[in-house]
Amino acid sequence: MAVLLLLWLAALLASSSAYAPGFDYFVLALQWPGTVCRSSAAGGPCCSSNACCRSDRIGWFTIHGLWPSYAHGNGPTCCNNADFDMAKISNLTMELQKYWPSLYCSSPSLCSGGHGSLWAHEWEKHGTCSYPVIQDEYSYFSTTLHLYSSYNVTAMLASKISIGADDGGRYTRSHTPSRRRHKEEDKQWIWATNAAATQSPVSRLD
């Protein structure tokens, strides 16, 4: 499944542009709220700017970002001065709040200086480097949401290794696995993401 989706991105590239991207593949980075919301790096679980303690608890992996990456690690960042503009993605707001919420209390840094929302950070740091595969802010967010729902890791892990809430998708403290299990499962997902991505680097179809 992951391979197909990555190939889809590569096909987009081949048909739409003569430019080669300055990276090798995309990593779709996801996070498990139960783990992130407990970490001190997130600044504590509850604050008005994050989704950790909202009334409809999150029982699914959420999106961190879509990161253009080099085969040898990391990837390009902060590639142009396209400032984040919420108005451009206003018709995606509901989906973004559900599947791409901030789980941090602190505001991440922006390429342009200062701090902003998780969405602004991801667009400026990673999205601007996705060109020409992804050409603008709206496409960055809509493509990432599309990949996320097509490659449903929450459903995949729920059926394969019993991660996630057992009560139909609602996340409660009593249903979360132990911290240690979270860690193991996080590791497995990171491995799965990278392995899938490595199998079909965008550059192979140049």
Ligand X SMILES: *[C@@H]1O[C@H](CO)[C@@H](O)[C@H](O)[C@H]1NC(C)=O
Q: Which residues are catalytic?
A: 64, 122, 126
Q: How far is the CB of 130 from ligand X (least distance, A)?
A: 16
Q: How far is the CB of 168 from ligand X (least distance, A)?
A: 8
Could you give the CA distance from residue 151 to residue 28 in angstroms, rounded to a whole number?
10
Q: Which one, 134 or 202, has the nearer CB to ligand X?
A: 134
Provide the 8-state DSSP code for 131. Answer: T
Q: Which stretch binds ligand X (CB under 6 A): 25-33, 78-86, 152-160, 177-185?
A: 152-160
Angle formed at CA 189 by CA 205 and CA 121, multiple of 5 degrees: 75
**Residues 124/83, Cβ–Cβ less than 8 Å:** yes
Cα–Cα distance for residue pair 51/37, rounded to 1 Å: 9
Q: Binding pattern to ligand X, positions 166-205, x when CB under 6 A?
A: ---x------------------------------------
Q: Are 78 and 125 in contact (CB under 8 A)?
A: yes
- Using CB under 6 A, which residues numbered 76 to 115 contact ligand X? 88, 91, 99
Indicate whether 144 belongs to the interface with ligand X (CB under 6 A): no
- Pick the binder of ligand X from 62, 144, 154, 193 (CB under 6 A): 154
Q: Which of 45, 138, 175, 192 binds ligand X (CB under 6 A)?
A: 138
Cβ atoms of 143 and 66 closer than 8 Å: yes
**Half-sphere exposure of residue 201: CA atoms within 13 angstroms, side-chain side:** 14
What is the binding site for ligand X (CB under 6 A)? 88, 91, 99, 138, 148-149, 152, 154-155, 169
